[in-house]
Structure formats: C-alpha cells, structure tokens
Amino acid sequence: MCPFHLFKTIMEITNKQLKPLAGMTLDDLRGVTASMQMPRFVASQLAQWLYVKRVASFDEMTNISKQNRAALAERYCVGLTPPANAQHSQDGTVKYLFPVGDNKAVEAVLIPDEDRNTLCISSQKGCRMNCYFCMTGRQGWHGNLTANEIINQVLSIPESDSITNVVFMGMGEPLDNIEPVLKVIEIMTSDWGFAWSPKRVTVSTVGVKPALKQLVEQTQVHIALSVHNAIPEERQSLMPIQKLYPVKDVLEMLGKYDFAHQRRLSVEYIMWQWFNDDVPHAERLREILPNTDIRVNLIRYHMIPDAPKLRTSGDERMAMFRDYLNGHGITCTIRRSRGEDIAAACGMLAGKVRKDDDENAKANKATRPQARKQ
C-alpha cells in the first residue's frame, strides 16, 4: 500500500466515531454497561482500570471478558491523547501542549516544588471573559473542553502518577464550563476514581456567581477568586465580568460559607505598578473581604503583547502591600513566579492559535485599564 493510502486508512480508523470513556463518572459508565447488557459490576471494573490503574487500552483490562472488551471497542475508546509538545523551564516547570480539535490546542503546566507536583490544567479553548491582561483572553473563545479533554491533561503526562495537586488555573474560565469541570472533580475525589481529598484541588474563577455558588455547595475543593482590583470602575476596565457580577457581591456571597477550617478561600491579586499596588488599594481590598479567613496571594504581572498600560510592580511595593494586609489581620503572601521563560506563568497561556484567529481576537480585546480619579 502506498504511503498516501496507508495514511488515509489510518485517518479513517482514527476518525471512527468512538466515544471516550475517560472523563465519564461511575454513573456514566453504568449507563454504558447497561445499554450493552453487561453486568453492573463491569462499570466499577472500568472505573478502576481508567482512574486507578490508568490503562490506555481495553486489552489491558484483563478482568473484563474478551467478549465484553470487544463489544466496548466497537463503540468506545479509552480516550487518552498524549501531549503534542513539552517545554521545559530553567526552574523545572514543564508546559504541555494538547491538541483539542479544530486546529486548536490547550496547555497544562506541571510545577514541581519539593514534595509537591502541582498540575495547572485548562478548561476551555481560549476564554470569553476577555480580561485585558491575559493572553488566553486575547485569543477569544473557541469552545468548551469536554470532561475527557480536561481529565486527559492529568492522565496523559509522563508525571501523571506523581501529581499531588491540581489547579484549574489554565486556559479558560472553569465556571463558564461548569458541568464538565464538576465531572472531573467527581472523578478526582470519589473512592471509585482518584480517591483524592478535595483539598488537593483548587478552582480559580473571575467570579461567575451562579456557577460559583453551585461549585461551593456541591464540592469541597479550594476556591481562588481573581480580584486584582477592589475599586469597581478600575476592575471593570480590566475585567468586564465586574459589570455583570461585581466582586463585592461575589465576596459577600462567599462570606456565607465556612472557609475557616481545612477548606480554603483565597483572593488572587496581580500587582501592576502605579495602578493597584499602593496602600489605598490595599485598604479598599481589605474593606470588601467579608472576614479574615480569606488569604490573599499577590502575583507578579507577566507582561504580554498589546498591554502597554501595565507594568510589573517592584519588590518594595509588593512587600509594602503585603505587610499592610498582614498588619490588619489578613494573611497575605507573595507568590513565587514559575515558568516565565517558557510563557507558562500566570496569564501567559495561549496554546496554538491560527493567525486569522489572532487578528479576530485583537479586534475584540478588552478596553485599556482606567486609573482611579484623584
């Protein structure tokens, strides 16, 4: 067979409409086995092979009969896709690129730190929150990731077995894709799945209030709220979501839930020189926090193209901001930047976007930040 026809045959096999099992909950798997007249216990076996033993093919599922494996393979696949590329930072951070169809890709970032291996994962192709300072938002929104495409980032990297924590802080707004995100959290935290403590999972959000309420009430994962500016008009110039869900209202809602014990609520605050890094801004932030159980993480700004109004705050101003909050009973720390040399740091993830998509995204970018009137 000539190479062209061989390639065509492989593509025809690849394009066969096989539904991935990775990303399904136990209830989903029970639906699969019931529809194929298989015993109920086969669903539990599938969950163990997928999420405990983490196999990549039906042939490895040796306690499932050959007949059932063959029947499953006619309609389903395990659904794991390895990353297409990996970039290694000087500080040990690794950025993985995952194709997700339609000539799009998303990135996941592994951050090793002594006895912790934290994986930062993506939940959308791009993002429609349109934050001025974020590379992901600059490319626009190209669709939600499925539960399979999200969990694949965890299961398919070489370090999968050594991951200690997962943070939904990659590309996209997790709560704009709430149902697949909840499925993946269920897989991670259920006895039949990874059996992780919910405290090993953190979901970051700009404050999509209805979905955030759902997340807080249906899970016990940590919450990280991206605030970045407590002055409404200034925050709105950076983050259009402020108009729909004012951050003060979001924090007031979160203040009704218990974050005083093991579960953590943190505020993420990127610092920009002469824009939000002075004592008056620290005071405005303190005023909207509903209680002192909330932790504040100060984040260095990582410069991106086409954001000329924003500059990174200096160490002294960040330390002043931190010390002011700590002095008023708010636990505040400065987060160490990781992976900036490979564009893997906060706000820098972009995946691969075609040039025409880049141009369309620029036409839809957020307005420039507005400084507070004196």
pLDDT in tens, 288-311: 999 999 999 999 998 887 777 889
Residues forming the active site? 107, 346
Tell me, what's the pLDDT at 374? 39
Domain end position, chosen among 77, 100, 133: 77
Domain end position, chosen among 60, 77, 94: 77
Considering the domain architecture, whether residues 96 and 38 belong to the same structural domain is answered as no
Tell me, what's the pLDDT at 359? 44
Instruction: Kindly state the average pLDDT of the residues 35-41.
Output: 97
Is 374 within a domain?
A: no
Considering the domain architecture, whether residues 201 and 150 belong to the same structural domain is answered as yes
Instruction: Kindly state the average pLDDT of the residues 142-154.
Output: 98
How far is the CA of 335 from the CAs of 258, 271, 282, 324, in angstroms? 24, 11, 17, 16
Domain end position, chosen among 77, 97, 115: 77
Domain housing 52: 3-77
Tell me, what's the pLDDT at 345? 65
CATH number at residue 20: 1.10.150.530
**Which of 23-27, 172-176, 218-222, 334-338 has the weakest average pLDDT?**
334-338
At position 167, the amino acid (one-letter code) is V
Is 36 within a domain?
A: yes
Considering the domain architecture, whether residues 178 and 52 belong to the same structural domain is answered as no
Considering the domain architecture, whether residues 89 and 70 belong to the same structural domain is answered as no
pLDDT in tens, 205-247: 999 999 999 999 999 999 999 999 999 999 999 999 999 999 9
Tell me, what's the pLDDT at 260? 86
CA–CA separation, 18 and 348 (whole Å): 34
**Which of 30-39, 146-155, 245-254, 345-354 has the weakest average pLDDT?**
345-354
Across all residues in the chain, what is the average pLDDT?
90
Structure tokens at 242: 């402020």
Our count of domains for the chain comes to 2
CA atoms in the 13 A half-sphere facing the CB of 339: 25
Considering the domain architecture, whether residues 132 and 280 belong to the same structural domain is answered as yes
pLDDT in tens, 99-127: 999 899 999 999 999 899 999 999 999 99
pLDDT in tens, 328-353: 999 999 998 887 777 766 776 777 54
Tell me, what's the pLDDT at 306? 75
**Which of 82-91, 178-187, 359-368 has the weakest average pLDDT?**
359-368
CA–CA separation, 142 and 145 (whole Å): 10
Residue 11: CB atoms within 10 Å: 10
Residue 101: CB atoms within 10 Å: 12
Considering the domain architecture, whether residues 101 and 26 belong to the same structural domain is answered as no
What are the DSSP calls for 241-253, one per residue? Answer: HHHHS-HHHHHHH
Alpha-carbon Rg for the chain in angstroms: 22
Considering the domain architecture, whether residues 118 and 31 belong to the same structural domain is answered as no
pLDDT at 11 over 80: no
Considering the domain architecture, whether residues 223 and 353 belong to the same structural domain is answered as yes
Tell me, what's the pLDDT at 353? 40
Q: Are the beta carbons of 302 and 271 closer than 8 angstroms?
A: no
Tell me, what's the pLDDT at 342? 78
Is 10 within a domain?
A: yes
CA–CA separation, 306 and 312 (whole Å): 15
Largest CA distance in the chain: 75
Instruction: Kindly state the average pLDDT of the residues 124-149.
Output: 94
Residue 67: CB atoms within 10 Å: 9
Is 48 within a domain?
A: yes
Considering the domain architecture, whether residues 138 and 175 belong to the same structural domain is answered as yes
Considering the domain architecture, whether residues 248 and 180 belong to the same structural domain is answered as yes
136 vs 307, higher pLDDT: 136
Q: Are the beta carbons of 32 and 26 closer than 8 angstroms?
A: no
Is 72 within a domain?
A: yes
Is 373 within a domain?
A: no
CA–CA separation, 174 and 185 (whole Å): 11
Q: Are the beta carbons of 143 and 124 closer than 8 angstroms?
A: yes
CATH number at residue 259: 3.20.20.70
Beta bridge partners of 225: 205, 267
Is 356 within a domain?
A: yes
Considering the domain architecture, whether residues 194 and 153 belong to the same structural domain is answered as yes
Q: Are the beta carbons of 192 and 227 closer than 8 angstroms?
A: no
Considering the domain architecture, whether residues 185 and 71 belong to the same structural domain is answered as no
Is 285 within a domain?
A: yes
Tell me, what's the pLDDT at 16? 60
Distance of CA 130 to the CA centre of its chain: 16
